[in-house]
Amino acid sequence: MKKTHFLVSMLALAFLSSCQNSDENDNESLRKEEVHNKTVNVTNHDGRPFSTGGGSAAGKFVSGPGGGVMMQGFYWDVPEGGTWWNTVKDKLTAWSDSGISAVWLPPASKAQNGAYSMGYDPTDYYDFGNFNQNGSVETRFGSRTELEALITKAHAENMQVYADIVINHNSGGQSQANPFTGTNTWTDFSGVASGKFQRSYHDFYKNSYGNNDEGAFGGFPDLCHANPYVQDWLWGRDDSVGKYYKNVMKFDGWRFDYVKGFGPWVVNNWNSNVGGFSVGELWDSNVNTLEWWANNANSSVFDFAAYYKMDEAFDNGNLNILNDDMMWKRNPYKAVTFVANHDTDIINNKMQAYAYILTHEGYPTIFYRDYEEWLNKERLNNLIWIHNNKATGTTSILYTDNDEYIARRNGYNGNPGLVVYINNSSSWQERWVETNWSSKQIKDFTGHSGWYPTTQGDKWVKIQAPPNSYSIWSLNQ
């Protein structure tokens, strides 16, 4: 749901490299005491749709050891005119070849504003741009045929497709007399063109089930999930919204919009009856609230706790805050991490933030405009490759201060893991750290550093990171 859109002016990022050579024998015992170790007892997100390192020669996504990467395949106010499904479809091979495992699409069904709507004011859940209603046949994004072609192409590239599901509220109904309010309300959806999931004032609060649930949004009619008729049409019957999206339209998962507006039991019931991957938009920075919702919804949740910590860390010079609690530390299997989305874009130092989420646990999301328009795509592809090939195992935070952050992924099932070094200062920095590897040559897989140091027998090594940037180290193999 569109809340507040922050316009961020992006500065060009300069990536520095070093041609220095490392002397790994100097003052090792003196430098060890500089490093303070903290272990976070969390696990790799091996349950996610896995992704490949750099894709395959055929451009098809193939799973790798590090986990999946999701692309948010839209932004707020994408171009009108019914071209967006084709725009996304044409990018799928390149995304797959880069190691992206899934694409999240905007709400796909017809909404009140027809060809001008971003879909968050849904009218007819079964009109994907194939019925003439609300002033148009196609949605803002295109026709049903074009949407189906996009999904088919994604599956041919071994990618999953996630639908944005808006079930807190509806819009575009006709006026009807409502005995529960004593006024007329815009709750008559008996004339939806698909003929499916017809609704009336009985299906919205306030009604015979009560005055309200967890929350309404924007003055729109608030759908009553307590009504068995609504439950049946959302997830129960064979042609319910959820089952139609999955079995007919072939969506693989769900991003649930504005889940603050209804209880987590709603998503839990949807997941139990429909299946597929799911993530909820619970806009709350409190990690306890995020964990509570994810557990009760049996769903992943966007890690807003990490999002706001990253803003404080990378934009406000306080990398120590990355020691704080986040959803990915509580349960990486249920944490979807992100740097920006269609609703909020407050982090300025985005490359450091992407280096963070693509080397840490959780299910990382790439924002379309960051990837296609605003940031260095080559550097993002490099981070995706590192994530998919090296980011395995539990996480140990090795060192933090205001300007520096170093963490180790401890490896899993024979994969060596990595060490990430983020440097927010204006000069090159060096640290001695304890790695996973004894007497092994390592390298910076970002190419920012030209060092090829060899770890000592006790696994310690000196690494470096460029100013206002990052380096990521693993075995030179």
Parallel, antiparallel or unpaired: strands 174-178 and 442-444: unpaired
The CATH topology of domain 67-106+141-167+225-390 is TIM Barrel (3.20.20)
Global pTM? 0.89
238: annotated binding-site residue? yes
Token reading at 262: 């209804």
Residue 103 and residue 131 in contact, taking contact as beta carbons nearer than 8 Å: no
- How many CA atoms does the CB half-sphere of 230 hold within 13 Å? 21
The pLDDT tens digits along the chain (477 residues) read: 543 333 333 333 333 233 333 333 333 333 333 333 333 433 333 322 223 233 344 568 998 999 899 999 999 999 999 999 999 999 999 999 999 999 999 999 999 999 999 999 999 999 999 999 999 999 999 999 999 999 999 999 999 999 999 999 999 999 999 999 999 999 999 999 999 999 999 999 999 999 999 999 999 999 999 999 999 999 999 999 999 999 999 999 999 999 999 999 999 999 999 999 999 999 999 999 999 999 999 999 999 999 999 999 999 999 999 999 999 999 999 999 999 999 999 999 999 999 999 999 999 999 999 999 999 999 999 999 999 999 999 999 999 999 999 999 999 999 999 999 999 999 999 999 999 999 999 999 999 999 999 999 999 999 999 999 999 999 999
Task: Give the whole-angstrom CA distance, residue 408 versus residue 399.
Answer: 10
What residue type is assigned to position 344 of the chain? T
Tokens 């890690």 identify what position?
303
170: annotated binding-site residue? no
Residues with active-site annotation: 257, 281
Distance of CA 289 to the CA centre of its chain: 18
232: annotated binding-site residue? yes
- Domain boundary assignment for the chain: 67-106+141-167+225-390
Task: Give the whole-angstrom CA distance, residue 345 versus residue 72.
Answer: 13
Distances (CA, A) of 172 to 111, 181, 185, 293: 7, 19, 11, 30
